[in-house]
Structure 1
Amino acid sequence: MIDEPSPRAETASDAESAFKILSHDLRLEILLALWDARDYALSFSELRKAVGERDSGSFNYHLEQLQDHFVMKTDRGYELQYPGHRVLDAIQSGVFHEETSVGPVDLEETCRDCGEPLAFEYGADCIARIRCSDCGNRALEWPFDPGGTAGREPEAIVAAFDRRTRLIWACALDGICPFCAGRVERELTSHVHEQGACVGVIEQLERYDEYFARDHPIITSVDCNRCSFYSFVPVGVVLLNDMVVASRLHDAGLDAEATPLWDLGFVVDAAALSIEETDPMRIEVAIPDVDEELAFTVDEELAVTRKSAP
């Protein structure tokens, strides 16, 4: 029996080939020149002039290495293709070469543990953090590309972090990887809870001790089958993807769309969650920021239903 290569091995081989194609400075300069061009296209002579390469033969060789995938020859000249855009997107995100810090930026929202103001901070590890400067409570932490800080005032950076985090979570919880569009496996998972039943594998991950929602009795695990994306998402975020829930919250006086993630109690408060059943899994998510008693249940398929009053 012949052992077939694993998908990860094939991916590594394909990636190695792609990186080799992009390994020469001139090839990246060609992509950048096309990106700067009107309609992302230039003639041969215009492109060579744009990158400042005098040797026509050398330029032609490197251009040919990019053709038919990153660059396409068309009636308009040489045109930047979608894969070329994605290469430049990755570079412009800043994650490979930029070290940016922001804050602390004082926020209007207050800590749910002690009532003191929260603050936003961003550092060289590319993690944005919403923390209480008084008691140290970590309300929310999530990766954020350095490119998100460019050209924005601090308040706009905070708003961009909130919006982008929502989009990533919504996409992942919908089963689609926000980075490679691969299939995302989703499941409710936890460490050992009060009934003594073990759900998921969190207890095997030492890094979970550093997770901002580590005190939650249950969270949602998201894991892409294709790329390296995986993480844990608060169960309350599942409610944000349900239009019926959003409408009901609005009727109750809570605009979940306009309220920052770190000020939504059903997202960040461990006390808002309780495990109703373990087989099958059912989680109650209470809404602490409205005047009426309101709660929803999330099942193991991440389906949401309103919990009826007793």
Structure 2
Amino acid sequence: MTDNRDGSPESTFGALGSELRLDILQILESAARETASRLTFSDLYERLDIESTSQLSYHLGRLDGVFVQKFGDKYGLTQAGERVVRAVYAGTYTEHPSFDPTPIDGTCPHCEHTALRAAFEEPFLSVTCRECGETVAKYDLPPSQAVGRTPEEILQSCDRRVYHELGMALDGTCPTCGGIVDASSRQRTSPRTEEYVVTATCRRCFNQVYAPVELCVFYHPALVAAYWSDERDATNVRPWNVYSYTAEWVVTTVSDNPFEAHVETDVIDERFVVTIVDGAVTIDIE
């Protein structure tokens, strides 16, 4: 169930087009974080550089119900208001990430050379092969993720985020908005056109997460446990290095619609069956 508030997106986002209103949101967030309290109208008026109480009433009216909510005689942030403040603090809309081009360990899945390089090519952090020129991986890089970390630590952080986002998407939940995700399949583009990719698309915000069939299976608990018993942590394997682990795997596509693929690994004896029925991904072991 959702509370479909009145008002167009233009009106809602237009309410944020004021420095004073953003100040109100940040003051309310600060009070909640530092003292676990909400603020009265008088509290807000005292903390703002504002000309009159009527001006404050006007600006609160623009925020009320969407970004700010009244609890008795006090004001606090809604979930949407808190997310706006978090985005301001994170520099999501005002800053650009920085990343020094860095040679990295790993093997190119396209040409098998070890000449990989990571560099920020707006809007993505891209891992490319200097030998064949192919792109090996792309990451979204929020400004805050690039602060206080070395290039290697940034890449590790991106890996962890991708790992968890893929897990959520395959489980049917959008990692961006929490909406319902539907899965589908498609053949990969050149040069690996004989292989299939699982694509998960959010019904609400249309965010997409996609991964080769092998990557979906690679993080299955049975495989993770098998690697762990061999003193290897599968969850720390770079996405582009999965192919060096799965080179001996046999993936057989049984059906396109509904999608069904059988994956035989060199790690454990069982065969993994990946299916997509009614938009839901299931991975079973035979």
TM-score calculated relative to the size of structure 2: 0.79
Does residue 1:297 correspond to 2:273, yes or no? yes
Distance in 2 separating the partners of 1:94 and 1:190: 37
Is the CA contact 2:125–2:139 (under 8 Å) kept in the aligned structure 1? Answer: yes
Structure 1 position 235, deviation (Å): 1.8
Change (3 A) 1:96 1:50: same
Change (3 A) 1:83 1:240: farther
Letter in 2 for 1:121: A
Distance in 2 separating the partners of 1:161 and 1:305: 28
Does residue 1:36 correspond to 2:33, yes or no? no
Gaps of 5+ in 1: 1-9, 192-207
Give the match for residue 236 of structure 1: 214
Does residue 1:179 correspond to 2:179, yes or no? no
Q: How many residues align?
A: 275
Structure 2 residue corresponding to 1:255, chosen from 233, 236, 241: 233
Could you tell me the percent identity over the aligned residues?
A: 26
Gaps of 5+ in 2: none
Letter in 1 for 2:120: Y
SS in 1 for 2:274: strand
SS in 2 for 1:179: coil
Deviations 1:139-178 (A, max 9, x none): 2213232222123232221111111111211111111111
Aligned CA RMSD, in angstroms, stands at 3.3
Is the CA contact 1:265–1:287 (under 8 Å) kept in the aligned structure 2? Answer: no
Structure 2 residue corresponding to 1:128, chosen from 113, 125, 143: 125
Give the match for residue 20 of structure 1: 14
Structure 2 residue corresponding to 1:96, chosen from 81, 93, 96: 93
Is the CA contact 1:236–1:267 (under 8 Å) kept in the aligned structure 2? Answer: no
Change (3 A) 1:214 1:141: farther
Distance in 1 separating the partners of 2:179 and 2:264: 32
Change (3 A) 1:99 1:123: farther
TM-score calculated relative to the size of structure 1: 0.74
Letter in 2 for 1:296: F
Is the CA contact 1:101–1:124 (under 8 Å) kept in the aligned structure 2? Answer: no
Does residue 1:278 correspond to 2:276, yes or no? no
Distance in 2 separating the partners of 1:239 and 1:300: 13
Distance in 2 separating the partners of 1:17 and 1:215: 46
Change (3 A) 1:46 1:156: farther
Letter in 2 for 1:68: G
Distance in 2 separating the partners of 1:128 and 1:137: 14
Structure 1 residue corresponding to 2:157, chosen from 160, 163, 167: 160
